[in-house]
Structure 1
Amino acid sequence: MCFLTDLKGDRGKKPSQQSDLDSNLRVVEVKKDGIVIRGAKVMICGVAASNEIFLLPGGVYGEADKDFAVAYVVPRYIEGLTIVETTRPSDLRGAWR
């Protein structure tokens, strides 16, 4: 499991006020069988070695930011998820076999 934080963009503005709305995760579509989310999070632990990723809001939000105020868990290998690592790879699960 892994917890991530929002990029936040301009920290003086709420998520709905950002020039780039993808600087925070948000709900972009509600379907019968779930939600579609879009945006980015910053990894603060070894997400590539996790089986599930916990995504939590990065602050206290009001009505204008309700699409950003949702918590959810996604499988590590869900379709559409992109993980970009800028340091050494952290997924070493197969290294000990």
Structure 2
Amino acid sequence: MHPRDLTSAELADLLDDAYRADRSLGTAGLDAKVRLELADHLGCHPERQAQVWEAWQKLLILEGDVEEGDALFWLNVEFVKPCPEQS
């Protein structure tokens, strides 16, 4: 399923899986194709990225084991890819 077809909460769950895998926090992560589609989708839709970040923040607060600042840096700098039209 393409990221555009998922809710913000579902996308936040995917981000959480990718983040935890990247930080070796005990998850299998995402399939490479899903990861790329998600990174591209969020890079091309900043308003959607903001909605997903808000949903992910709620998840991070509930779980309480991840520093929000590190997660936001990872999202903006390490994960999201610039939209091809903007590169």
Does the alignment reach a TM-score above 0.5? no
Q: Which has the higher strand share?
A: 1
Whichever structure has more helix as a proportion of its residues is 2
TM-score for the superposition, normalised by structure 2: 0.30
| TM-score of the two chains, using structure 1 as the length reference | 0.28
- Find the structure with the greater CA-based Rg: 1
Bigger RCO (CA 8 Å, 6+ sep): 2
